[in-house]
Amino acid sequence: MPGFSQDRILELLPGSDKLGYDAKTGAHRLVGSVNFIYQGNTMYCDSAHYFDKTQEVRAYGNVHITKEDINLFCDSLYYHGKTKRAKLWGHVRVRDLEYKLTTDTLEYDAKKGQGIYRHGGKIESITSNEVLTSRVGYFYPETKSFFFSGKVRYKNDDLSMSTDTLQYIYSKQTTYFYGPTNIKKGETNMFCERGWYNIDTEEGSLIKNARVQENNRIIEGDTLLRIPKEELSIAKGNVMFLDTSAHQVLRGNYGKLSEHNHSAFMTGNASAASFKGKDTLYVFADTLYNQNDTLDKPLFTKAFRNVKFYNTNLQGIADSVFFSQKDGIAELYKDPVVWSENVELKGDSVTVYLKDSIIEKIHIRQNSTVLMEIDSGLYYNQISGKEIIAMFNKNELYRTDVAGSAITIFYPEDTEKTDSSVFVKRKGMNRLSSGELRIYVDSGDVTGITYFEQPDGVFYPMSDIPEEDMFIKNFNWKEALRPKKRLIEGILPD
């Protein structure tokens, strides 16, 4: 076809049955098994119109275009040679060596190497079980990059994703999502509102309202980073780790969950709850570390700085606490205070021995005190010594063994009965000291004392109690610091 520049030449291949030319419209009409090359693209169809002035091609019936490894099929096609843009209609299929696209209508920009479908499409991998469907799709065959929107669904073996907007970079095997997204990989379910996920490595960053549920575990946070090769999850902002099999939940602002080490780390307004049985133990601290055994049964929990804990029978505070769930022991360090009923216990360090959430005994070392409020803000039964072992029965203090510089202050009582009432009358105050004492208690009242050394003491009638003798040395009733149940609402999952 003389007079055409090289990029305007339409090279007719053998096999076309008829070639016609309309001088008025400038159209070349090709009919019957049409085969031609135009701008590097080989085209096959039943019939075609070519307009040399405008460099337009219209092809009809069994259209097939091929260039290098890319093949396009459709019922009809329009191609503009100047803009290098095409539009394909009817049973559109595009395929290369790895992917196949099926849609009803497709726009293709050869300059950009971009294809667009706007009315629903499906992309399938030729080499794997990958299938992706969406309402709108942008794909770039040369870079193997895809962008989808509108009811996006991805499926590959045991991996599935559903979202509204998805970008897929094939070279990185990475998907990026920009709307509410659900991901299911085997038994793991994930949700977020944006982020990325690598199909090969299963690594991902889930952002905004992120949630991962796997077997008996749930992880939530503003941001979740998953590193499966290291069996590690890192969460930031409004973090929650829930393990229903271990009956534990942890909350905080930053957390790490290591499946490899069977451990969890939480910091920033950290809190934990162990809700096995009828009662729940709540722990609050700046930082929490939880360790399970290889079967993911709880071993121990460490709490650091500003520690508070609460359950129905026992409350306490300390700078740091070590809870051994396996042994039923809680070790409290630096300014520890423990409360049970109307009893306050404290010392330089405290060990609490529990069995099924029931207190068995409390061991207090150095500067040890046991205080029992018997008249709010007025009178307290008091015990102090170098070392105290407090024994409990059904979470009620019934005996204290005091060793070293033992002192006890208590208020003996008489009970007077009438026909309709019972009156309790305090007889006075006993202040006793000895090297070693055993004190028996009932409901906070001293009912008996055993002396292992000769005691020294004094009794004051109620009207003659000197103010300086009413309290043991360094007496400090810390009820105001006692954790209350109202402070822990919302820690357990819904």
Q: Are residues 38 and 96 in the same domain?
A: yes
Query: Residues 291-309: what's their mean pLDDT?
Result: 90
Could you give phi then psi for residue 468, rounded to 5 degrees? Answer: -70, -15
* CATH code of the domain covering residue 168: 2.60.450.10
Q: What is the pLDDT of residue 2?
A: 27
Domain-ending residue, one of 188, 214, 240: 214
Q: Are residues 105 and 167 in the same domain?
A: no
Q: Are residues 93 and 179 in the same domain?
A: no
Q: What is the pLDDT of residue 27?
A: 75
Mention every residue, 6+ apart, whose C-beta is less than 8 A from residue 489: none
Domain-ending residue, one of 85, 119, 153: 119
pLDDT tens digits, residue range 58-109? 989 999 988 888 888 999 999 888 888 889 999 999 888 888 899 999 998 8
pLDDT band for 378, please (50, 70, 90 cuts): confident
Q: What is the pLDDT of residue 407?
A: 92
Q: Are residues 202 and 168 in the same domain?
A: yes
359 lies in some domain: no
pLDDT band for 18, please (50, 70, 90 cuts): low
419 lies in some domain: no
Q: Are residues 19 and 97 in the same domain?
A: yes
pLDDT band for 401, please (50, 70, 90 cuts): very high
Q: What is the pLDDT of residue 33?
A: 74
The whole-angstrom separation of Cα 137 and Cα 167 is 10
Indicate whether 26 pLDDT > 80: no
335 lies in some domain: no
464 lies in some domain: no
Average pLDDT, the chain: 87
294 lies in some domain: no
- Asked if residue 187 lies in contact with residue 212, where contact means CB atoms within 8 angstroms, the answer is no
Q: Are residues 109 and 151 in the same domain?
A: no
Q: Are residues 101 and 181 in the same domain?
A: no
Most confidently predicted of 29-43, 171-185, 356-370, 478-492: 171-185
pLDDT band for 4, please (50, 70, 90 cuts): very low
Q: What is the pLDDT of residue 6?
A: 40
Q: Are residues 112 and 155 in the same domain?
A: no
Q: Are residues 25 and 114 in the same domain?
A: yes
Domain tally, the chain:
2
57 lies in some domain: yes
pLDDT tens digits, residue range 267-296? 999 999 887 767 788 899 999 999 988 888
Q: Are residues 111 and 150 in the same domain?
A: no
pLDDT band for 122, please (50, 70, 90 cuts): very high
The amino acid present at 167, given as its one-letter code, is: Q
- Asked if residue 246 lies in contact with residue 215, where contact means CB atoms within 8 angstroms, the answer is no
Label each residue of 187-212 as H, E or C.
CEEEEECEEEEECCCCCEEEEEEEEE
Tokens 């001088």 found at = 23
Indicate whether 143 pLDDT > 60: yes
pLDDT band for 1, please (50, 70, 90 cuts): very low
Q: Are residues 31 and 105 in the same domain?
A: yes
Domain-ending residue, one of 214, 231, 252: 214
50 lies in some domain: yes
Tokens 């055994």 found at = 293
Provide the sign of the torsion angle of the four alpha carbons 443, 444, 445, 448, taken in this order. positive
pLDDT tens digits, residue range 404-461? 989 999 998 877 776 666 666 888 999 999 999 899 988 778 888 888 888 898 999 9
- Asked if residue 71 lies in contact with residue 96, where contact means CB atoms within 8 angstroms, the answer is yes
Q: Are residues 157 and 112 in the same domain?
A: no
- Per DSSP, 159 falls in state E
Indicate whether 486 pLDDT > 70: no
Query: Residues 140-154: what's their mean pLDDT?
Result: 88
Query: Residues 341-352: what's their mean pLDDT?
Result: 92
Grouping H, G, I as helix, E, B as strand and the rest as coil, residue 420 is coil
Domain span holding position 163: 127-132+142-214
Q: What is the pLDDT of residue 3?
A: 26
- Asked if residue 332 lies in contact with residue 312, where contact means CB atoms within 8 angstroms, the answer is no
Instruction: Calculate the alpha carbon distances from 82 to 6, 57, 60, 85, 109 in Å.
Output: 13, 11, 20, 8, 11
The whole-angstrom separation of Cα 153 and Cα 149 is 10
105 lies in some domain: yes
The whole-angstrom separation of Cα 13 and Cα 15 is 6
